[in-house]
Structure 1
Amino acid sequence: MRMLLTWAKELGCNYVRLAHYTHNERMLQLADEMGLLVWVEVPVYWTISWTNPETYANAENQLSVGVERDKNRASVIIWSIGNETPVNEDRNVFMGNLVDKVRELDDTRLVAAALEIEREGYKITVEDPLGDKLDLASFNEYGGWYWSNAKELPKYSYDIKFNKPVIISEFGAGALAGFHGDDDTMWSEEHQELIYINQLEMLDKMDGLRGMTPWILVDFKSPRRQNPVFQNFWNRKGLISNTGEKKKAFFTLQNYYKKKTKQYN
């Protein structure tokens, strides 16, 4: 855990997202010690049984236990109630109740979730109704990887319907450390690097942008990632490989953060 947070600081981060579940308490202790701000999250993820009372009780219990455990941590600045939950009325009620609960438990932190987005042409709209109850307009987007072409990213613009600080809670692309090609070659470090370069150009034009947590710092095991050559049951979106090798995109983002630090100091 100390190694991960040390890498985050080397990258130039002052803030990390602990997704998508409650992490070991030691991680928060280290964040306090090392001076990192933290987004804390519970595992309300994708599609679950929105109308099942037991499912809601489970989610509320995990949220309550986490807030009670970590509410006195100086590092914690955001309570997140979930990630990428598809918009429907039952979901809105479920998630809205979690917002009310966390505010009842602690009204001193920001409340967030990774909201849904909509795309049409080169316009990306953020109007997920859950955003009305949250403190941040925070959302995941994987331009250049799951949608669009990496070289098209600077053409996109955002229409964010909330007058709130914007946090990009996920963006990124996969690359196998040590695999090289031109910037059109999927899974190469050069392709991941190009996506980061063009993502950052696109995001710099966004009004209200106040932070980002690229997905993800380090490659991690995932049974859903089954490509036998490039994944082999690893999620390869890390800026650092599972063996600690920094990919080219790591240095692209590090340089971007250095420029931002100079700009605001």
Structure 2
Amino acid sequence: MPELPEVEVTRASLADRLHGAHIEAVHLGKPLRWPLGAAPERLLECRIGELQRRGKYLWMPLTGPQAPGAGAAPREAGGLLWHLGMSGSLQLTEAPAARGVHDHVELRTSRGTLRLTDPRRFGAVVWSATLAVDPAARLLARLGAEPFDPALTPQRFHAELHARRTPVKAALLAGDIVVGAGNIYACEALHRAGIDPRLRCCQLSRPRAERLLAALRETLAQAIALGGSTLRDFKDAHGMSGAFQHQALVYGREGEACARCGGTVRRLVQAQRSTFFCPACQRR
């Protein structure tokens, strides 16, 4: 956590408010996962462009102050790649409270103060000249397809899964076939598709792969519509918690009755992560 839905909810709650704002001051707190990679002064007076998302990363393009000369275009100033880590959240407020011990990056802009709060400090804010060069290119290089990308066809999804012998749940969490299927959403998508999380990818038929892709898209779309999931710390840029966790059919429901078939939801550990599923209606 946060996963793709939480990051997309964050992007949507910030995009219009920040687009066109100018950075007036930068404050860095305790070091995060990776260094900023640029002097904070370099960001001053930069204009914020259209906020974008790639997987669980947010890209904030920047343009610098206008160069001297009539009709001169603003100079490119790179951008900031944001990652919320395991416990981070972004808030944009006009009158922020005093900085707390977990507030690690702050941009004061002409539209308010954007603050990254991250209790576990696995998040990061990294400057990069473009997305196509390091460090951004290196950080994004192993990301799989976006789940709603039309280029991710059922045939392609099945072919990439079928080439692996790992359990299907592990392949979803890896994020190099498709991004966004964090633990809660992988559990829910597999339940919707009726697939046992222990099934090896190479045993997955094309119809079942197609059903899984549809279930993953439905799960993620519902999560985005509900503001993501808040299991501990996540809040959107308005300070609102997500609500998808209250709609989950198997995640966190060990010992309860399956909403589909009435069987008992079980929990098992896969790669040190809890997996919730119904053995009665999720078949190998």
Higher fraction of helix: 1
Same fold? TM cut 0.5 = no
User: Which has the higher relative contact order, 1 or 2, with Cα contacts under 8 A spaced 6 or more apart?
Assistant: 2
